[in-house]
Structure 1
Amino acid sequence: MNNLQQPERPIAPALLVGVDLGLPFFDAQLEELGLLAQTAGLTPVARLTCKRKAPDAALFIGSGKADEIKELATQLGVQEILFDQSLSPAQQRNLERHLELPVNDRTLLILQIFAQRARSHEGKLQVELARLQYLSTRLVRRWSHLERQSGGIGMRGGPGESQIELDRRMISDNIKRIKERLVKVKRQRTTQRRQRSRRDAFNISLVGYTNAGKSTLFNALVKARVYAADQLFATLDTTTRQLYLGELGRVVSLSDTVGFIRDLPHGLVNAFQATLQEAVDADLLLHVVDFSSSNHVEQIAEVQRVLSEIGAADIPQLLIFNKLDQIDPALRPTALQDIYDLAGVATPRVFLSAQTGDGLPLLRQLLVEKIQGSSAEPSSPDFHASHEAGTSFGTMAAKQI
């Protein structure tokens, strides 16, 4: 296991590259990739974008643009190239040979950030599983010790085939072992959910795009001390606390989940299935939105796509447009509560600031009304409107990670 560990990424200047393939929500300024790079400990020094009808099979961007990137990287002293799209192992290998620099993609950046931030035993297992699955396709390029292996008669040649096969078996064994341990964790979580169900608990999960303020809202509601910061993926592990609603004289279960992001690696979606199960099993989702972001509409669509992917599209939602304190007073809504058209579904929306507490009493009152409606009339249209039309969530267009 130890010889598969990757060294910590040093702080280094990086060149960001984005390719517009005509898909929705192309980040022309590469703002999110820049934030991911900074979160991973890199310093973006330049950004370059281009348009293509389709990726080049060998270099993704074509030889002409690759030459341009190499020249710019040399001028700026760049030590790493980061692509906003996922690269195939062959494209990544060809680009590194052409540019003579390390080349990585958005997927690996997200995996590295998750590896840095995971704190719980379950979270670390999930990240390691996704990382090994990703790196297994890049085995020859990733492990430098393979270059020291003899290649055949006379001790000449390239990497030793036997060593490559050995590492491949080691990765396969580790993946199998981690999956078995995650099955046990999932059983434990299932037992905990059954216990909450027997106590007639009402389960609420916070979901939303990364850095939307979920953990800040969670702390404000339950007076917890979950780590919250103005950065991507500040928290990765699901935390559940009891929220007391005095108007009802009862407590409900509130869970804070990992933030979603555009082009979330499929390996992470699969690996985090046990953690995301809290959202799947919820009675109500509080979909937290960064109202101050210029891309909040696209971020809503991406969250809806991921919810559909994990089987949570049919669960009723309450939209929380957070960070009201960061909006120009002249542009703030006149009413803190209205209805939002979420893919054709009329969904209640609340404007608030989890940081200042403005709007929190209104949110608590809405939660009381939702829970009362659910208890008094389980099939009431007020609570289950989004339940009836939830399958339409999966049709929202969003660029895939």
Structure 2
Amino acid sequence: MSKSKPTETLDSRLRKLRGRLRDAGHDALLVTNPVDTRYLTGFVGDDSWTLVPAKRGQPIVLSDNRFEEQIKQEAPHVKAVMRKQSLADELAKLADRRNLQRIAVQCGHLTLAQYDAIGKKVGKRRLQAFEDGLLEQRAVKTDDEVRLIRKAGKIQQEAFIELLDFIEPGQRESEVAAFLEYRMRALGADGVSFPSIVAADANAALPHAIPGNRKLKKGGIVLIDWGAKYKGYCSDMTRVIGLGGMKPKMREIYQVCLESQLAGIDAIRPGVKLTDVDAAARKVIDDAGYGDFFGHGLGHGIGLDIHEAPRLSPLAGPGVLEPGHVVTVEPGIYLPGVGGVRIEDDVLVTARGKQVLTDLPKSLESAII
């Protein structure tokens, strides 16, 4: 894949955003979501806001001297204002100095307390709720972004392969999670995409189980949902392990879940409705009689956030897949008090179809160790 210069990528991102701001008649956008600040400027810190003028001009990062050197290193192309007062006070000064009369705000990332504080300093009549389009923009990944997601996936898969030599009956769920997260860090990850899920036996029926003191048993199952973050970008996978065997019911739902996942992946290509991808996978589980035990959507986008657009779900609306989307495909069957199976991979939508970015074995035979 070709690599573009970071500043060229950031300039392109800003141009698209500024076009939407001008079309809506806004003078600037106040970015309060730190992930969007990273996407638009390269600055990774928190407790900071970014003001993006609708016309030409550097983005302005409002921060404090804890981050002064970091901003110089990560985002040398931005203007940085190290606040002496509150962020709202500094924003008010900028708004007056630049005669900003219509400041768009990210309603989804602004608390009521923040909105009130800004309104008191800037004037609420100058604040405009705005759908900034960044979710949709971020959903379409560049080659460089895909490269980083691939790297995150490679790290998480290497850690899992090491885990297979470590895991054994008698260990606690929390021990397994700790080992996996340590190895991802040691292999070069920034950190984890989300707190790892390690769920043994009946706990695997909880889609978002928290690893605890339950011990792994010989002949039992372990559901592991984990992800690495590399240079800010997330990966996300789920596998189920049978420790020396797997009970007949778990074998049955494992095979159904695998066939469902393969059907979902097969349905992915540009122009396909998000709901149709979900339906293709869901039909397999419904036909097997387990439809009532698959209660969540088929998948979600990944990137700088672990949950991004687009969604693969019956509730996804009229959207379609586009080249550059990276989505998870993760059907699950959860039997209360018995156990559950979820199988998940990350899939890139390409110009002509798709490419599965994660490739750990997932046959029933490979799941039993």
TM bin, normalised by shorter chain, reads under 0.3
Looking at secondary structure, tell me which structure has more helix per residue. 1
TM-score computed with the length of structure 1 as normaliser: 0.25
